[in-house]
Amino acid sequence: MKKILLLSGATALIVTLTTLGIVKYFDTGSTKSLKIEHVDGTPSKSTIYTLDENGNPTPLDFTGVSEKVMKAVVHIKSTQTMPFAGGGDGSGFQNLPDPFRDFFGGDGLHRFFYESPGQPRSGNSKPPVQVGTGSGVIINENGYIVTNYHVVADAEDIEITLHDNRTFKAKVAGTDPATDLALLQIKADGLPTLPLVNSDDVKVGEWVLAVGNPFNLNSTVTAGIVSAKARNININKEQYAVESFIQTDAAINPGNSGGALVNLDGGLIGINAAIASETGSFSGYGFAIPSNIVNKVVEDILKFGVVQRGVLGVMIRSVDGNLAKDKNLDVVKGVYVDSLLENSAAGAAGIKPGDIILEVDGSKVNSTPELQELIARKSPGDMVDVQVNRKGSKKDFTVTLNNRNGNTKRISKEDGSDPLSLLGVEFETLSDKEAKKLDIPGGVIVRKLHPGKLQHSTQMREGFIITKVDGQSVASKEDLEKILRRKSGGVMLEGIYEDIPGVYYYAFGIG
C-alpha cells in the first residue's frame, strides 16, 4: 500500500514539474513574442531596386526627380464670363454648359480634368463667371508653357502660379483642339524647364511620375507605370481629333489636366489629358498625350502660328480577328483602308480600298491610333513611305501628304483662325419652303455643331435658325459668313427653333 502511495506521489510530482516547465516555456515564448524593439536612425532610402539600361540593379528613388519636376509644373486658373440664352421675355437665362465635364454615352469615360470652385451669387446682375483650374509644364526658360486646350478654351483671363508662388498673367500663343493642346506664354526669364524626350522610346511597364495640381492640391506627385501605348478612347470630339494616348496607372485626378508625365530621368514623355472613370475621379486609368505629338504642335505654333497637319485622305479602322474573318484577310494586325476621301493623297500614290497599312517610314503600324500618331507628326507636302498588304502581297508606296483642303500648301495663321472654323458649326441656308412654314422672311439653320466657340460658349442646339446677327437680318449662309468674317469682339445671334416657342439669343466672342 505504501509503495503504491509513494509511486502515486512521485508520479504526481513529475506531472506537476512537467506542467510547470511547459507553462514556463510557453510563458517565456509569449513574453518574447510581445517584446517591442525601437530602432533609431531608420534609413529613408528606398530598398526597392530596378534595372538600368544595362540590366544593373539600381535603387528606385523618386525624391530627386520629384524635386526637379515640381519646379517646372505650374498651376493654371482660367476665368471666363458665361454667356446666357434667354427666351422671348428676356427672363429665361441659362448657364453656359461646362465644356470640361462632358459625359459621353454613359460609357464611363469622363472628359478632361476640370474644377469649378466658385458659383455665381444669386441676385447678381453681372454675367456669371466660370473659373477653372488645371496644370501646365514650362518647356522654355523664356516663359512658354504647354497645357491642354480644354483648360484655357475661351478663357478671358489666365493666371499662372509657379512652384515658388509667383503669379503671372498669360497669353495664348496658339492652340490645337485636335490634339487638345495649347501653348501659353508669360513674361519671365530663367525659368526651370522640362526637356521633351522621344515618346517612341517609352516602354510598357516603365516607371513614370505624374505631376500636377489635383483638387487644387498644388505640386502633387504620384507614381505608377506605363500601362499601355497608342490608346484611343474616343474622348476628343473634335472633327479631326488625334488620339494616341500613353496609358498610366499613376494616380491623376481633376486638376491634373495639362500636367507632366515624366520618366525617372525627369524627361517629359507626355501631357496628362484624360481619365477613364465612372465617378470622375481616379479609377486606375489615366491618359497622356505623347511628347512627340506635343513637340510637333509646339514647333508649328512657334514657327507658323498654327499647326501644319498632313493627312493621308483615307477612312480607316484597326484590323482585328473579327474584321479579318469578315473580310477574309490573312493578317490580324494593321490598319484597313475602308475608302478614299476626295483628293486623297494615299489614292494619288496608288493605295486602294481594301489595302492594309502595315508600316509608315519603317515603323510598324498595328492599330488606327498608331497610324494617326505617326501621320500627325507630319506636315502637308511631307513624303512618307507606306507599306501595305494587298491580297497577301506587300507593296510599297511613297505618299505626299495633303492638308485638309486636299492640297500640299502650308496653312497660314489667318486660315487657321477663320471665324467659321473656330465656331465649330455647319450652316445651311433655310429653304423658302421652310421659311414660309415658320412665317419668317429667311434665315440660316445650324445643321451640325462640332467642338468650338458656339458649343463651348453657348447652349445652342442643332436646328437653331439664325435670323439676325447683332440686329442685322440674314437670309443666307453667304450673308452670315460675310458678317462674321468682318466681326471682332462680341457677337449676338438671334433666332428661333422650329419645335420651341419664343426667340432665343446666343452671345459669344470672336478674337
Q: Take residue 37 and report the three cell numbers written for it.
A: 524593439
Contacts of 369-372 spanning 24+ positions with Cβ under 8 A: 369/230, 369/231, 369/232, 369/243, 369/244, 369/245, 370/230, 370/244, 370/335, 371/316, 371/335, 372/232, 372/242, 372/243, 372/244
Tell me the mean pLDDT in the region 21-37.
48
Q: Please, is 349 exposed, middle or buried when counting C-beta atoms within 10 Å of its C-beta (0-12, 13-18, 19+)?
A: middle
Q: Give the whole-number percent of the chain exceeding pLDDT 90.
A: 56
Looking at per-residue pLDDT, the higher value among 509 and 507 belongs to 507
Looking at per-residue pLDDT, the higher value among 402 and 414 belongs to 402
Q: Take residue 79 and report the three cell numbers written for it.
A: 476665368
The rounded distance, in Å, linking the Cα atoms of 409 and 423 is: 23
* pLDDT at 174 (0 to 100): 92
Range with the poorest average pLDDT among 382-391, 415-424, 495-504:
415-424
Tell me the mean pLDDT in the region 70-76.
97
Rounded to two decimals, the pTM is 0.72
Predicted confidence band of residue 302 (pLDDT cuts 50, 70, 90): very high
Tell me the mean pLDDT in the region 46-68.
77
Output phi, psi for 18, to 5 deg: -60, -45
Residue 451, pLDDT > 90, answer no
* pLDDT at 94 (0 to 100): 37
Q: Which one from 66, 199, 244, 257 is the annotated catalytic residue?
A: 257
* pLDDT at 415 (0 to 100): 57
Looking at the DSSP assignment, which residues form a beta bridge with residue 408?
Answer: none
The rounded distance, in Å, linking the Cα atoms of 307 and 107 is: 31
Angle formed at CA 317 by CA 149 and CA 347, multiple of 5 degrees: 95
Average pLDDT of the chain is 82
Contact 371, 357 (CB under 8 A): yes
Range with the poorest average pLDDT among 125-134, 181-190, 258-267, 438-447:
125-134
Predicted confidence band of residue 450 (pLDDT cuts 50, 70, 90): confident
Q: What is the pLDDT of residues 95-114, one digit of tens each?
A: 333 333 332 233 334 333 33
* pLDDT at 255 (0 to 100): 92
* pLDDT at 478 (0 to 100): 87
| Topology (CATH level 3) of domain 57-305 | Thrombin, subunit H (2.40.10)
* pLDDT at 298 (0 to 100): 96
Strand order in the sheet with 171-176: 167-169, 157-161, 73-81, 129-140, 144-147, 181-185, 171-176
Tell me the mean pLDDT in the region 434-455.
86
Tell me whether residue 180 is one of the annotated catalytic residues: yes
Looking at per-residue pLDDT, the higher value among 390 and 234 belongs to 390
DSSP conformation letters of 176-225: ETTTTEEEEE-S--S-----B--GGG--TT-EEEEEE-GGG--SEEEEEE
Q: Tell me which range, 110-114, 146-150, 281-285, is most confidently predicted by mean pLDDT.
A: 146-150
Q: Which residue has the cell 500500500?
A: 1
Tell me whether residue 219 is one of the annotated catalytic residues: no
Q: Which residue has the cell 477574309?
A: 328
Q: Which one from 150, 300, 355, 457 is the annotated catalytic residue?
A: 150
* pLDDT at 9 (0 to 100): 52
Q: Which one from 176, 180, 300, 355 is the annotated catalytic residue?
A: 180
Tally the residues of the chain.
511
The rounded distance, in Å, linking the Cα atoms of 236 and 248 is: 18
Cβ-Cβ contacts under 8 Å for 211 (sequence gap 6 or more): 66, 69, 70, 73, 135, 219, 220, 221, 259, 260, 262
How far is residue 93 from each of residues 82, 87, 125, 505, measured CA to CA in Å? 11, 7, 11, 10
* pLDDT at 481 (0 to 100): 84
* pLDDT at 117 (0 to 100): 38
The rounded distance, in Å, linking the Cα atoms of 50 and 43 is: 19
* pLDDT at 112 (0 to 100): 39
Cβ-Cβ contacts under 8 Å for 147 (sequence gap 6 or more): 76, 134, 135, 136, 137, 181, 182, 184, 257, 258, 271
List the domain boundaries for the chain.
57-305, 314-400, 418-510
Cβ-Cβ contacts under 8 Å for 184 (sequence gap 6 or more): 76, 136, 144, 145, 146, 147, 152, 158, 160, 170, 171, 172, 173
The rounded distance, in Å, linking the Cα atoms of 399 and 391 is: 20
Is residue 76 within a helix (H) or strand (E), and if so which, with residue range? strand 73-81
Contact 144, 191 (CB under 8 A): no
Q: What is the pLDDT of residues 190-240, one digit of tens each?
A: 999 999 999 999 999 999 999 999 988 999 999 999 999 999 998 887 778
The rounded distance, in Å, linking the Cα atoms of 311 and 137 is: 29
| Topology (CATH level 3) of domain 418-510 | Pdz3 Domain (2.30.42)
* pLDDT at 87 (0 to 100): 43
* pLDDT at 459 (0 to 100): 87
Contact 492, 506 (CB under 8 A): yes
User: Helix, strand, coil shares of the chain as percentages rounded to 5?
Assistant: 25, 30, 45
Report the interhelical angle of 368-376 vs 291-304 (nearest 10°).
Answer: 30
- Chain CA centroid to CA 58, Å: 33
Contact 198, 292 (CB under 8 A): yes
Is residue 216 left, alpha or beta, with left meaning phi > 0 and alpha meaning psi from -120 to 50? left
Tell me whether residue 75 is one of the annotated catalytic residues: no
The CATH classification number of 314-400 equals 2.30.42.10
* pLDDT at 144 (0 to 100): 97
Q: Over 326-356, what HEC string results?
A: HHCCCCCCCEEEEEECCCCHHHHHCCCCCCE
Decide whether 314-400 matches 418-510 in CATH topology: yes
